[in-house]
Every structure is written in structure tokens, then in C-alpha cells.
Amino acid sequence: MSHGTTGTRQSCPGDPPLISHLRSPFLVKHWPILVIGITGVPLFLALIIEYMAGLVPCALCLMQRVWMIAAGLIAVFAWIHATDNRFYPALTATIAGIGASFSIRHLYLQTLPEHEAPSCGPDVDYMLQNFPLADVLLTMTRGTGDCAKVTSIVDVLFPVGALVILLLVIGLCAVRTFRR
């Protein structure tokens, strides 16, 4: 087993190349910057695409964004605190996992036959103005008929893209949390 100057395990003689790269000190040390980029760039692109195409995000799209933003913000705090503990990557992975569950729910609704999809309800802005917050949050976590509409760009469904991004964040945080 070889060690770097900081004592961090670099690689073992029998490790596949991918495992050796995952143990790289760069990934371990700079994971917050990578998470900020992994979450920030797609969110920025989604806003541009949404504006240019005139799309209105459904409730589950908004929930995925909320959790993606939360994961990015926790990474910002980790970067600012520059601590070596495992709390921040574990919390970031947990938050990304919650966001990923909304992506999976969104994909589930999109695969339902039309007659089984939830009925369309009012948009989120209307609900926020006219319904109690608890009802709005419940509707946003379950999804509405709008969430069953299939929207894609370059043949990638929006919830699939969000799921991949959130799984990347989880993987990166797992590497950081469980490094040996």
C-alpha cells in the first residue's frame, strides 16, 4: 500500500484504475467545489432552457431543484468551513438522496398510463396564494397531473437528468465519507 505525504491512502497494488482515481486526494479535498459545479451548472442551464422554451416547471421539478440547491448550499458551507469531518458529505448525500427520490417519483408518474395519472391541479403559484402551506407541500411532494407530462431535451427526460446529477453527488459524497 502506498501513502501520500499526508497519510491518505492513495491506492493498493491490486486496485482497478477507477478505484485508484476515486481515492485521489483531489477528490477527497475538493469535493465541495465539485458538488457546487455538479449541481449549479445544470440548474443554471435548466433556468435558461425553461425561459427560452417558455416551460413552466411542475411541482416535482421544483422539489428536485429545491433539494439540488440544498445539496449545493451544504457543499458551500463545507467549502467555507474547510473541515475534514464526514458530517458535510454525509449530509449532502442524504439531501441528494431525498432529491433523487423525487426524481424517481417523477419518472414513475411519467410512466403511468394516462387514465392512472393524477389529475391536473392548479399551478404552484396559485396554490401558494390560495391554499394552506401544508396542502401545497403535500401536493408538491406527491406531484400533480402536470408531472405526468413527458418533457425532454436531447432525448433526456428532465427527471432522468436530475436523477443522474443527484446520484453523482451521492457517489462523490460517498467516496469522501467512506474513504479509507
Q: Is the pLDDT of residue 166 over 90?
A: yes
Q: Is the pLDDT of residue 4 over 50?
A: no
Q: Is the pLDDT of residue 35 over 90?
A: yes
Pair 59, 146: CB distance under 8 Å: yes
DSSP string, 79-126: HHHT---SHHHHHHHHHHHHHHHHHHHHHHHHHS-GGGSPPP---HHH
Could you tell me which of 63, 67, 69 has the C-alpha nearest to residue 43?
A: 69
Mean pLDDT of the 13-23 span: 55
Residue 94 CB neighbour total at 10 angstroms: 15
CA 36 to chain centre: 11
Q: What percent of the chain has pLDDT over 70?
A: 80
Report pLDDT digits (tens) over 95-151.
Answer: 999 999 999 998 988 888 877 777 777 777 788 888 888 888 887 887 777 777 777
pTM: 0.78
Q: Is the pLDDT of residue 27 over 90?
A: no
- The β-bridge partners of 156 are 153
Stretch among 20-29, 90-99, 104-113 having the lowest mean pLDDT? 20-29
Could you tell me which of 131, 132, 129, 142 has the C-alpha nearest to residue 58?
A: 142
The structural domains of the chain, with segments of one domain joined by +, span 2-177
The C-alpha cell that represents 23 in the structure block: 481515492
pLDDT at 3: 46
